[in-house]
Amino acid sequence: MSQLNNFTKGFIKENPVFVLLLGMCPTLGVTTSAVNGLGMGLATTFVLVMSNLAISLVANLIPDKVRIPGFIIIIASFVTMVDMSMAAYLPSLHESLGLFIPLIVVNCIVLGRAESYASKNKAMPSIIDGLGMGLGFAFALTLLGGTRELLGSGKFFNFAIFDEGYGMLIFVLAPGAFLALGYIIAIINKLRKA
Amino acid sequence: MEYIIIIISAIFVNNIVLSQFLGICPFLGVSKKVSTAVGMTGAVTFVMVLATIVTYLIQKFVLDPFDIGFMQTITFILVIASLVQMVEIMLKKVSPSLYQALGVFLPLITTNCAVLGVAIMVIQKNYNLMESVVFSAATAIGFGLALVLFAGLREHLDLVKIPKGMQGTPIALITAGLLAMAFMGFAGIV
């Protein structure tokens, strides 16, 4: 597979959210607005790229039996870094993402890519794989966040599109997350088959 | 009284799955049949309460005194992962029948974000040990309630004709959305 393919597969063909259905908790939990979705997506991208890089370099040194715990420690270290730097530089975003930042550790996408890709490939392809998958995840979260924000409060990236009075509040509340994602996946299924 | 408020709030008002969005993977993954949903609930309850107690003690007696709170994420996930492994090994020896019932679900629990989520939440909410135990047990029951209800709905969904594009995940998510809407009715009880 060429490097370009390797990079773009995460966007549509193997999109972690819409197609593989991985990492659903942050997907549903933080996407009340496009900004939150993008922030979460980029934080996860950073963790993915760095952990893919680190794991591809040390995979041969880790005994097979303690592979998974080893990967989890590597991932958790990068998550802690993201957590602390976000708290320092982007306190308001950190506040609104809250619990979901430490929970990147248990995001199945990160461990999934580590196990199925980075542990078997060299550093460079692993970075590209992590970047592609991460940006695909960020794209999905931004799309879902944008949809919910637009339908729920009439804004897009905090920019008023139509009057707030027309917004359907349900879309920024909990049920709206399930409904919006359900319909988006249905549309994508339809488009993929066509 | 305080405990009752914690219990009602954790099960209904702030349901872990339907309003906090934790543990969605098992919620969507193992909810095709009511019987597997019940098994999963049992395993999650067991691990969640145990993990909360252990991580709580580690936070209070190791992380806090040495002022290394930034190690929280790494420590907790390792504790949970090894705890799950240990429970699996012990259960196999001590109670093979229980292992038969819960065994297949145990490895899945490490990546259940609800377990790590609850462990971190009790620290953030500043609960004492007893409150933490009650909170984690109630949360697990809330998880089970959502899971079993959802599995029941999905068993019936199999019997109806669904438009092609909506089959599978989309209809499951929309059903979950409607269930979440129903749970919103509990808001304001506590």
CB proximity A8 to B under 8 Å: no
Instruction: Kindly report, residue by residue over A5-58, the tens digit of the pLDDT.
Output: 878 877 777 888 888 788 888 888 888 889 999 999 999 999 999 999 999 999
User: What sections of A59-173 are H helices per DSSP?
Assistant: 67-89, 91-97, 108-116, 123-153
Question: Quick check: A170 and B181 CB within 8 A?
Answer: yes
With a pLDDT cut of 70, the percent of chain B lying above it is 97
Residue of B81, B113, B184 lying closest to A174 (CB–CB): B184
Distance from CA of B171 to the nearest CA of A (A): 7
Contact between B147 and B27 under an 8 Å Cβ cutoff? The reply is yes
Interface test with B, best of A77, A81, A99 (most B CBs within 10 A): A99
Q: Please, which pLDDT band fits residue A183 given cuts at 50, 70 and 90?
A: very high
Size of interface A-B (CB pairs under 8 A): 114
> Is pLDDT larger for residue A193 or for residue B79?
B79
Is the per-residue pLDDT at B104 higher than 70? no
Question: Quick check: B19 and A174 CB within 8 A?
Answer: yes
What is the distance between the alpha carbons of residues A32 and A98, in angstroms, rounded to a whole number? Answer: 13
Supply B45's token pair: 């309850």
Question: Quick check: B169 and A21 CB within 8 A?
Answer: yes
What is the distance between the alpha carbons of residues B83 and B89, in angstroms, rounded to a whole number? Answer: 10
Question: Quick check: A25 and B74 CB within 8 A?
Answer: no
Is the per-residue pLDDT at B103 higher than 70? no
Residue of B111, B116, B174 lying closest to A111 (CB–CB): B111
Residues 83-142 of A with CB under 8 A from B: 83-84, 99, 102-103, 105-108, 111
Q: Please, which pLDDT band fits residue A171 given cuts at 50, 70 and 90?
A: confident
ipTM: 0.83
Is the per-residue pLDDT at A1 higher than 60? no
Nearest residue in A to B125, CA atom: A99
CB proximity A72 to B under 8 Å: yes
Rounded average pLDDT over B101-124: 80
Rounded average pLDDT over B150-154: 90
Interface test with A, best of B14, B19, B24, B110 (most A CBs within 10 A): B24
What is the distance between the alpha carbons of residues A161 and A153, in angstroms, rounded to a whole number? Answer: 9
Query: B142: which chain A residues are within 8 Å (Cβ-Cβ)?
Result: none
Distance from CA of B15 to the nearest CA of A (A): 11
Query: A29: which chain B residues are within 8 Å (Cβ-Cβ)?
Result: 20-22
Is the per-residue pLDDT at A140 higher than 80? yes
Q: pTM for the complete prediction?
A: 0.86
Distance from CA of A93 to the nearest CA of B (A): 18
Distance from CA of A178 to the nearest CA of B (A): 5
Query: B153: which chain A residues are within 8 Å (Cβ-Cβ)?
Result: none
- A34-58 vs A108-116: helix crossing angle, rounded to 10: 30
What is the distance between the alpha carbons of residues A69 and A75, in angstroms, rounded to a whole number? Answer: 10
Residue of B116, B165, B177 lying closest to A103 (CB–CB): B116
What end-to-end distance do the CA atoms of chain A give, in Å?
A: 25
